């Protein structure tokens, strides 16, 4: 079946976001200490709560209560969040532009806090190429759970067999595939082009 719609994740695919940009300096270049902080204090799981709709001020307050010794660093996580957002991943944006010119229906599906997403909207002009953007924090659903993929398909009246989903996390790709969407794990632009061509996409 001919592909009509390509659904993109944002962070790690089109947008370069990494808390290391702030915290490596905070921990004086000590990668081991920084990793410990991310594994134990401001964890992925904690960050995902905000991506799922939890208010940043509540999450920050709760974490400080648990780890008062790290109050400064916990406040930094969202206080300096914009510094973690480096810029667009240019080669991926070139691919997006080509797909747009080739008349593919483009949708974004991102795990992102509703409170910080307006910064991305303001900063990245390529987001205007999308016919729709689903932000997890706005609808209180998260990848890789099936609800968010089904929500996206229903909202934009998409046939999963005519869709491709691109994400840098394998678990999210597998989540899409369970809903009948073809998935591509993003590693780099060369691999993305190759995999899109394999699925019959004109690029």
pLDDT of residue 175: 98
- pLDDT at site 93: 98
Beta bridge partners of 15: 11, 88
Do residues 9 and 110 make contact, with C-beta atoms less than 8 angstroms apart? yes
Task: Decide if pLDDT at 20 tops 90.
Answer: yes
Tell me if 33 sits within 8 A of 27, measured CB to CB. Answer: yes
Task: Read off the DSSP letter of residue 129.
Answer: G
pTM (two decimals): 0.94
Could you tell me which residues come within 8 angstroms of residue 23 by beta carbon, excluding any fewer than 6 positions away?
34, 37, 38, 73, 76
CA distance linking residue 176 with residue 197, whole number of Å: 19
Q: For residue range 126-166, what is the model confidence (pLDDT) as tens digits? A: 999 999 999 999 999 999 999 999 999 999 999 999 999 99
Q: Tell whether the model's pLDDT for residue 192 goes beyond 90.
A: yes
| 67 Cβ contact list (under 8 Å, min separation 6) | 41, 74
Task: Give tens-digit pLDDT for 156-181.
Answer: 999 999 999 999 999 999 999 999 99
* Radius of gyration, CA atoms only, the chain: 18
- Is residue 116's pLDDT more than 90? yes
Count other Cβ atoms within 10 Å, centred on residue 122: 9
pLDDT band, very low/low/confident/very high, at 1 (cuts 50, 70, 90): confident
| In the chain, % of residues over pLDDT 70 | 100
Greatest alpha-carbon span in the chain? 56
């Amino acid at each position: 079946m001919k592909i009509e719609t390509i659904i993109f994740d944002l962070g790690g695919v089109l947008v370069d976001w990494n808390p290391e940009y702030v915290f490596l300096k905070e921990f004086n270049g000590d990668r081991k200490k920084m990793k410990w902080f991310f594994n134990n204090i401001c964890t992925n799981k904690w960050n995902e709560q905000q991506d799922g709709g939890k208010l940043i001020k509540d999450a920050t307050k709760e974490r400080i209560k648990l780890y008062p010794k790290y109050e400064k660093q916990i406040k930094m996580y969202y206080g300096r969040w914009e510094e973690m957002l480096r810029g667009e991943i240019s080669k991926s944006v070139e691919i997006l532009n080509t797909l747009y010119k080739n008349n593919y229906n483009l949708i974004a599906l991102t795990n992102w806090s509703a409170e910080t997403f307006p910064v991305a909207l303001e900063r990245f002009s390529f987001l205007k190429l999308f016919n729709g953007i689903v932000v997890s924090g706005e609808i209180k659903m998260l990848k890789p759970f099936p609800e968010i993929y089904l929500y996206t398909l229903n909202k934009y009246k998409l046939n999963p067999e005519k869709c491709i989903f691109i994400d840098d996390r394998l678990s999210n790709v597998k989540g899409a595939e369970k809903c009948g969407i073809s998935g591509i794990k993003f590693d780099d632009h060369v691999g993305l082009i190759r995999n899109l061509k394999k699925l019959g996409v004109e690029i």
